[in-house]
Chains A and B, each alone.
Chain A
Amino acid sequence: MSNIDALKQQHLSMFEKKRDKHKKILSELYMEYISKKSTNEEDNWELFSNFYLYFSERFPCEIYENEKIVGTNWHWKWSTLIPNTVTPNNAGHFIPSFQDFLQKGVQEKINEVKNLPHGAALETCLKAFSQYIKNYSDTARKACESSCGENKQRLLNIANDCEHISNHPPTSFRQALQLIWFIKSFLDMESNQAAISLGRADSYLYPYFENDIKSGILTYEDAKELIMCFYIKASEGDESCMLTVGGDVENELTALFIDAQTQIKMRQPSIALRVCRSTSEQILSKATELVLVGNGMPAYFNDDVIIKGLKNIGINDKDSNDYGVVGCYEAAPQGVFSNTVACSFNIFDPFSEFLELKSEYTCFSEFLDAYKEHFDNYYKNRLLPRFKTSAERDQALVCPFASTLLNKEKYIFGINISETGILIDSIHTIKKLVFDEKYTTIEYLLSQAKNDFTDDALYEKILNLKSYYGSNDKESNELAKEITSYIGKVIRRYVIGDNVIISPSLFIFTQDIWHREHVGMVNGRKKGELLSYGIMPCEAPHSNVLTSALLSCANVCAEYFPNGCPAMIRLDNKEIEQANILPSLIKTFFEAGGFHLAINTLDAETLQKAKEEPKEYSDIIVKISGYSAHFTTLNEKIQNAVIERARSNSK
C-alpha cells in the first residue's frame, strides 16, 4: 500500500473517534479557561483572543504517520458540549482572504491588524495562531530525533516549514498549502458555524506551484500527493467546505486539484468548477472522470450568469470576477465578511396566505398583480424586520481570527428561499384551470389540495396539462421569468443596513426533505410527495424529462440570485461514459442561462442496499443539498429522500 493510501485508511478507521476527541479537548480547555477568569470585565473580543493563546499553549499537538500536511481539524460544533455557556460565535459560510494572508505572512498581519477595531484582541489572536503553528514545528523536530530515513526527512520538512510560516510568508507550494490548512483549522476552532470555504485555490496557490516547478524542487506528482494529504485533513471534520477551481485562471493546478479528488475520493473538500468560455476540453474531461467517481463532485458553476448576478447586487467588478463558492453552492466574493445562509423563508408561505384571502379576480393578470402586491407587503412587513435584526446581530459577532482575514466594511447577508418550483407551477396551474379554461375556481382548487385531490376528474385534468413548470413550453417559461424577477426586484428594493449587501438564493438546505409532510399544493402535489428543490421543477404530479426540466430551470432569473440557484440531476455512469455527453449537457444548460449544475450518479438500488447493509457500503458518499456526506451515516428520513429522488430521476 502506498503512503497516501495508508494515510487514507488510517483516516477512515479513526476519524469519528478523532472528531469526538478533539471536540472534547476544545470544550474542556475552554471551560478550564473560563473557570480561571476571576472577573467579567474583559470585553468578549479579548476574552476569546486570550482563550486562543491559552489554547495554543496547551492543546495536544498531534502529527500522524505519513502525514505531509499537519494540523488537527478542530470540529466546529465543540461548544455544543459546554452546558449553559454562551457559544463563542457564529461567523461562518464565508471565504477568508487566503491570498492576502499568504502574501503577508503572520508577522506582517500582526502589524497590520493593530489599527483595526479591536486591534489589541486581533493582535493577541494572531500571536496565538503563530504559537499554534510553532508547536507543530517543535513537535516535529522532537519526533525527528527518534526517527530515520524518509520519515525523518518528512518530519524535518514539517519542522522547518512550520517554523518558517509561524512568522513569515510561505516560500514554497508545500508551505503555502500547510499555512492554508492551519488558517482553515484555526477558523473552524473559532467558529461555531459551518462551511468556511477555501476559495480559488488554483489561483492563489499558483505562484508558489509555478516557482517550485521551475526551480525543480517540486514535481506534478509531489504536488498531487500534497493536495491529497490536504484533502484527507479536510475530511477529518464534519462540515461543508468548498474548494473552487477553474474559470478565467485555469492552469495546471486546476487539473491537479480535480485529479487529486478523483484519485483519493475524500468527502471534503467539495470541488466547485467554474465554467466560462475559455474552459478547456481537458478540464471538462477531467471533471467528467471525477463525476464518474460518484461523490457528486464537481459542482459546475456558470461564470457568465454568476458574475453578472454579483455585480447586480453591488459587488465591485474585481471581486465579482474573482468569486468563489461557499458551503453548498453559494457564489460569494473572497475575503469579504459574509454569511451566505444568514436567513431563510419559504416562498410558498406568502402564496398560501394570499390564496386564503379568497378574493375574486376577473382575469389572470389581475390575480398575478394582487399576488405580487401581497408578496411585497409580506416581505416588507413580516420578513424585513427579522432580517434587519439578524443582520445587526451578525455584524456584532465576536470573531477575532476571522476578522484578521475579512474585509468588514461590507457584510453580505444571504437570504435563502425555498419552493420556487412549486410556486411557479402552482401559479401556472391556476392560470390554466381557473382563468384560461374556466374549469374550476381557486377556492375549490385550494380545498382539493388540502384534501389531497379526492376529485378524480380534477386531478386527471391537472395530470393532462401539456404545459407545466418543467415542460419547457413558452408559457410556463415566461411565468418562471416573471415571478422570479419580481421576487428578485422586491428583495433588491429594500435596504437593511448601510453596509449590508443582501444576496438572495433559491434554495434552503434540505428544507425539501423536512417539510414534505406539508399539505397538498394547488399544482397537484399531494401530501408526502417530494417538494421541489433549488430551482428544479417539482417531481409531482408531472414526471419530468431531464432536458426540458433543465431548459425550464434556465428561465429562472438567476442573475437576481447570485447566492445560489442549484439544479441537481441524476445520470447513470453508462450515460456519462458516452463521449462528450456531460460536457455538452453542461454547455447547453449554461448557454440557456443555467447557474449551477450538480450531478448524482448513484442509483436507487445501490442506495437501498447501502441503507440495509451500512457496513458493506460505508464508503458511499452522496450530496444532500450541496453538502457531501457518507450515505450510511445519515438519518433514515434523509436516506429515504435521497433514495426516492434517485428513483424518480431515473428513466
Chain B
Amino acid sequence: MVGRIFDIQRFCTHDGPGIRTTVFFKGCNLRCAWCHNPESQSSEKQILFHMEKCTGCGRCISPSFDAESFICFNGAKELCGKDYTADEVLGEILKDKMFYDNSNGGVTFSGGECMLQIDFLAEILRLCKENGIRTAVDTAGNVPFEYFERILEYTDLFLYDIKCFDSDKHKLYTGAGNELILENLKRLLTRTQGVWIRIPIIPTVNDTIKEMKSIKSFLSSCKSPERIELLPYHTFGESKYATINRTARTFSTPDQSKIELLKAVFDE
C-alpha cells in the first residue's frame, strides 16, 4: 500500500502545537475558491512549471527525461505527487522526534484531504502511535463518519475546518454542501475533546459577525472543542496557480482589526 504525498514539510509551527512535521496528501474532494494549495486538489501526479525560472536549457525535453528522477537545475520543473510506503513516510517523520518530544509537537497529516486515502492514513497513524509520536489530522470533514471511527484511536488532535455555515453558499464556493461536514463534526465532538476548529476568514465570503455568530451558535449545540482558530486569508498560494496552468481567484486580505472583531464573537 502506498500513499500519494505531494510534500513533507519539517519544522512546521502552525498546524498544531509545538514543532511538527506536516505531511501533505494529494487529492481533495472540495474545490475551495480560495485554496492556497491548488496543486493538492487533483489526485494525479502533476509536473509544476515555474515559468519564470526556466532558462530554456532543454534538458527536460531530451529523450532520456524521466519525470520521477529528473532534477531541474533551475528549479523550473518539479514533480508534484510521489508515492510513499508508510514506512518511508514514518522514516521522514522520525527524523525530528527529538524536537517533537521537547516541544510537545508531533506530526500533522494534511492535504488536500488526507482522509480520502483512509487506508494509508490509518496505517501511518498507527505506526506513529507505535513510535510514540503525537498525531494530528487536518481535515475538511467531507467524508463518511466511519472514516473518523477508523482513526480515532490513533489521532490526538483533529484540525477541523468550518468554511461557512450556509450550505448553499458552501456549495457555491467549495463545490459541496456542508450538511455532512457539520454532522460529522457534531458526532466527532461526542467522541473526542481533541478538536481545533479552524475558520478561514475570506473577505466577501464569510468575514461577517453574522457568519461567526451562526457558527458559534452551531458549536454551542455541540460538545465544546479544545480551541477555535481564525485563519486570515492570504495570497501566498496565488503564484502556485500559474504552475499548474490555472488562474487564481483572488480575494482581498482581511486586516488585523477585522480579525480581532470576528474573534471577539467567540470570546463573548
* Interface positions of A (Cβ within 8 A of B): 456, 459-460, 463-464, 472, 545-548, 551, 574-575, 578, 580-581, 584-585, 587-588, 591-592, 651
On chain B, the residues within 8 Å of A456 by CB distance are 59, 73
B9 at the interface (CB under 8 A from A): yes
Q: Tell me which of A472, A548, A581, A587 has the highest count of chain B C-beta atoms within 10 A of its own C-beta.
A: A581
B248 at the interface (CB under 8 A from A): no
Indicate if the CB atoms of A588 and B99 lie closer than 8 Å.
yes
**Smallest CB-CB A-B distances: 3 pairs:** A584-B103, A584-B102, A578-B13
Given contacts A547-B19, A580-B18, contact A591 B98 (CB under 8 A): yes
Indicate if the CB atoms of A588 and B10 lie closer than 8 Å.
no
B266 at the interface (CB under 8 A from A): no
Partner pick for A581 among B13, B59, B69, B96, CB 8 A cutoff: B13
B246 at the interface (CB under 8 A from A): no
Q: Please report which residues of chain B, range 1-32, place their CB below 8 angstroms from some CB of chain A when the two chains form the complex.
A: 9-11, 13-14, 18-19
- Complex-state Cα separation, A587 to B104, whole angstroms: 13
- Complex-state Cα separation, A587 to B103, whole angstroms: 9
On chain B, the residues within 8 Å of A460 by CB distance are 71, 73
Given contacts A581-B103, A584-B102, A592-B98, contact A545 B11 (CB under 8 A): yes
Indicate if the CB atoms of A547 and B71 lie closer than 8 Å.
no
**Interface magnitude class on chain B:** 20 to 34
Indicate if the CB atoms of A581 and B10 lie closer than 8 Å.
no
Given contacts A460-B71, A547-B11, contact A580 B99 (CB under 8 A): no
* Interface positions of B (Cβ within 8 A of A): 9-11, 13-14, 18-19, 59, 69, 71, 73, 95-96, 98-99, 101-105
Indicate if the CB atoms of A585 and B14 lie closer than 8 Å.
no
- Complex-state Cα separation, A575 to B9, whole angstroms: 14
Number of A-B contacts (CB under 8 A): 58
Known: A546-B10, A548-B10, A584-B105. 8 other contacts (CB 8 A): A463-B73, A464-B71, A545-B10, A551-B98, A581-B19, A584-B99, A585-B19, A588-B98
Partner pick for A651 among B9, B18, B73, B95, CB 8 A cutoff: B9
Partner pick for A584 among B9, B19, B69, CB 8 A cutoff: B19
In the complex formed, the residue of B with least CB distance to A577 is B13
In the complex formed, the residue of B with least CB distance to A462 is B71
- Complex-state Cα separation, A588 to B10, whole angstroms: 15
- Complex-state Cα separation, A591 to B102, whole angstroms: 10
On chain A, the residues within 8 Å of B105 by CB distance are 584
- Complex-state Cα separation, A580 to B101, whole angstroms: 12
- Complex-state Cα separation, A459 to B59, whole angstroms: 13
On chain B, the residues within 8 Å of A591 by CB distance are 98, 102
Indicate if the CB atoms of B95 and A472 lie closer than 8 Å.
yes
On chain B, the residues within 8 Å of A588 by CB distance are 98-99, 101-103
5 inter-chain pairs at a CB distance below 8 angstroms, sorted by A residue, are A456-B59, A463-B71, A547-B95, A580-B18, A581-B18
CB distance from A473 to the nearest CB of B (A): 9
Partner pick for A580 among B73, B98, B103, CB 8 A cutoff: B103
On chain A, the residues within 8 Å of B73 by CB distance are 456, 459-460, 463
On chain B, the residues within 8 Å of A547 by CB distance are 10-11, 19, 95-96, 99
Q: Tell me which of B9, B71, B98 has the highest count of chain A C-beta atoms within 10 A of its own C-beta.
A: B98
Given contacts A546-B11, A547-B10, A548-B95, contact A584 B18 (CB under 8 A): yes
CB distance from A214 to the nearest CB of B (A): 38
CB distance from A452 to the nearest CB of B (A): 11
- Complex-state Cα separation, A472 to B96, whole angstroms: 10
- Complex-state Cα separation, A575 to B18, whole angstroms: 10
On chain A, the residues within 8 Å of B101 by CB distance are 588
- Complex-state Cα separation, A588 to B100, whole angstroms: 9
Partner pick for A578 among B10, B14, B59, CB 8 A cutoff: B14
- Complex-state Cα separation, A575 to B20, whole angstroms: 12
- Complex-state Cα separation, A578 to B11, whole angstroms: 12
Given contacts A545-B11, A546-B11, contact A585 B99 (CB under 8 A): yes
In the complex formed, the residue of A with least CB distance to B104 is A580
CB distance from A464 to the nearest CB of B (A): 7
